[in-house]
């Protein structure tokens, strides 16, 4: 990456850190979040605590510096570095507690949280023990107002065999709360067809399917994730801004796009899709997608890594010119797109709509 591009992303990160959030109509309402990585939620203070557990002394300032990467490769290195302090079930319990505290503060009542099971396996950790600790932490009385489901994520760059291993682990723990199998990582590393056996297996075991696509890859990456892998939701999917026919097809097939504003800015994904090295929030296709009838949700992706939270993402969405009605539509879609049985989903939607109606928003 050239110096100009590096400086641009560094400037974007500085803006994300310093931007003051304006309240929106969604703030007090019960909310759902569907695209949220557990490991990407580790705030600097928690990283310091994790490191100390394993005999490493670091400061909050050092972590903050690591989180001010200047390019996408720097973000990946920061992710690898901070997750290197996740070594046992107690570590995963800690970050689960911290994340749920933040979600509760933001009036989130339902969350589908992605766990990097592929990374656990690559590091030869006990996935079942780690997940048991995560689940136990999430079910304590203090978090009784938040319902959680979990997604096991395979890293695309680790290859098809590793993805199948994650799919098998997800199937084994399906009854314990793993709702879906997903794939993230380097979108350009291997073609989608390589992973069809893993996705087919996961589907046959009753798991729902989600796939990162159209983040840095083109519209064809989204098309392959849906047509070849059977993805029901697409992580990011902003590449469809370049293919209106595909956007229309996805809407007709009820495929949901999980948009993450701060993430798309910080990683350079938006710059790549728009062809604008200086791409800013105003270039994001969220409003265009909503206006065109796409089914879209709003999430934080890796909130600590991208210096954001869900309330801030809604504030950014409002700054794009979304009306109050569209903000409500976004919030409602996160419940509608949840990987839940119909009756459970209906109950959550009823709770959301009652709150919105009470506030005079419906």
Does residue 16 register a pLDDT over 90? no
The yes-or-no verdict on residue 295 having pLDDT over 70 is yes
Amino acid 14: pLDDT = 56
Domain ranges of the chain: 3-17+24-356
* Dist CA 55 CA 85 (whole Å): 10
Q: Please compute the mean of the pLDDT values over residues 89-101 and round it to a whole number.
A: 97
pLDDT tops 70 at residue 12: no
Q: Is the pLDDT of residue 3 over 70?
A: no
> In which element (H, E) is residue 296 found?
strand 295-298
- The half-sphere exposure of 77 on its side-chain side, counting CA atoms within 13 A, is 11
Which fold, 3-17+24-356?
TIM Barrel (3.20.20)
The whole-number average pLDDT for the span 63-79 is: 83
Residue closest to 173 by CA, chosen among 141, 133, 145, 146: 133
What does the block give as tokens for 44? 């600097």
Tokens encoding 106: 């933001």
Q: Is the pLDDT of residue 191 over 90?
A: yes
pLDDT at 71: 67
pLDDT band at 76 (very low <50, low <70, confident <90, very high): confident
The span from the CA of 236 to the CA of 223, in Å, is 13
Count, residues in the chain = 362
Residue 1 — very low, low, confident or very high, per pLDDT cuts 50/70/90? very low
Q: List the structure tokens of 73.
A: 């490769």
Least confident of 2-11, 284-293, 311-320, 353-362: 2-11
Catalytic, out of 33, 215, 313, 332:
215
Strand order through the sheet with 208-213:
31-37, 108-115, 147-155, 178-184, 208-213, 233-236, 256-259, 295-298
Q: Which residues of 249-285 are buried (b: 16+ CB within 10 A; e: fewer)?
A: bbbeeebbbbbbbbbbbbbbbbbbbbeeeebebebbb
Structure tokens at 351: 């709770």
Looking at residue 10, what is its pLDDT? 54
Q: At residue 21, does pLDDT exceed 90?
A: no
Q: Which tokens belong to 313?
A: 């993402």
Closest CA to 113 of 67, 80, 77, 150: 150
| Average confidence score pLDDT of the chain | 93
Least confidently predicted of 9-23, 52-66, 100-114:
9-23
Residue 68 pLDDT: 86
Task: Provide the token pair at 16.
Answer: 């994300």
Residue 70 has what pLDDT?
64
Residue 349 contacts by C-beta under 8 Å, 6 or more apart in sequence? 332, 335, 336
Percent of the chain at pLDDT exceeding 70: 94
pLDDT mean over 161-182: 98
- Dump strand ranges (E) for 116-202: 147-155, 178-184
Contact 9, 268 (CB under 8 A): yes
Report the chain's C-alpha Rg in angstroms. Answer: 19
Residue 215 a catalytic site member: yes
Lowest-confidence segment of 135-139, 159-163, 267-271, 288-292 by average pLDDT: 267-271
Q: What is the mean pLDDT of residues 159-184?
A: 97
CA-closest candidate to residue 168, choices 184, 183, 152, 191: 152
Rounded average pLDDT over 7-34: 77
Report CA-CA distances (Å) from 180 to 102, 128, 313, 344. Answer: 23, 16, 24, 16
Confidence of residue 150 (pLDDT cuts 50, 70, 90): very high
8 Å CB contact between 64 and 81 = no
295 or 80, which is more confident? Answer: 295
Query: For 10-33, what is the mean pLDDT?
Result: 79
Instruction: Give me the pLDDT at residue 9, please.
Output: 54
Percent share of the chain, pLDDT over 90: 87
Confidence of residue 214 (pLDDT cuts 50, 70, 90): very high
pLDDT for the residue numbered 142: 84
Nearest to 300 by CA among 36, 28, 38: 36
């Amino acid at each position: 990456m050239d110096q100009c591009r590096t400086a641009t992303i560094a400037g974007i990160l500085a803006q994300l850190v310093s931007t003051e959030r304006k309240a929106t109509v969604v703030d007090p309402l019960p909310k759902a979040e569907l695209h949220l990585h557990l490991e990407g939620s580790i705030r600097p203070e928690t990283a310091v605590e994790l490191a100390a557990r394993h005999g490493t002394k670091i400061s909050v300032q050092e972590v903050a510096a690591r989180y001010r990467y200047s390019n996408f490769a720097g973000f990946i290195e920061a992710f690898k570095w901070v997750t290197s302090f996740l070594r046992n079930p107690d570590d995963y319990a800690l970050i689960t507690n911290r994340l749920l505290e933040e979600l509760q503060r933001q009036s989130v009542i339902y969350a589908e949280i992605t766990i990097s099971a592929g990374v656990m396996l690559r590091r030869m950790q006990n996935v079942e023990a780690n997940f048991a600790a995560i689940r136990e932490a999430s079910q304590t009385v203090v978090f009784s107002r938040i319902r959680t489901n979990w997604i096991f994520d395979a890293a695309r760059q680790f290859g098809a065999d590793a993805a199948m291993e994650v799919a098998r682990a997800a199937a084994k723990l399906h009854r314990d709360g793993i709702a879906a199998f997903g794939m993230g990582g380097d979108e350009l590393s291997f073609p989608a067809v390589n992973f069809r056996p893993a996705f087919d297996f996961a589907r046959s075991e009753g798991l729902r399917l989600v796939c990162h696509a159209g983040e840095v890859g083109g519209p064809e990456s989204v098309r392959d994730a849906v047509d070849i892998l059977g993805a029901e939701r697409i992580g990011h999917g902003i590449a469809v801004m370049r293919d209106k026919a595909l956007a229309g097809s996805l809407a007709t097939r009820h495929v949901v796009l999980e948009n993450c504003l701060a993430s798309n800015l910080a990683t350079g994904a938006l710059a790549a899709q728009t062809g604008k090295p200086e791409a800013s929030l105003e270039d994001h296709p969220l409003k265009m997608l909503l206006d065109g009838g796409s089914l879209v949700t709003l999430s934080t992706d890796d909130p600590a890594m991208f210096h954001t939270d869900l309330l801030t993402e809604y504030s950014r969405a409002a700054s794009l010119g979304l009306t109050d009605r569209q903000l409500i539509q976004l919030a409602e879609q996160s419940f509608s797109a949840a990987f839940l049985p119909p009756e459970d989903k209906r109950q959550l939607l009823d709770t959301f709509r009652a709150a919105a109606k009470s506030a005079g928003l419906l």
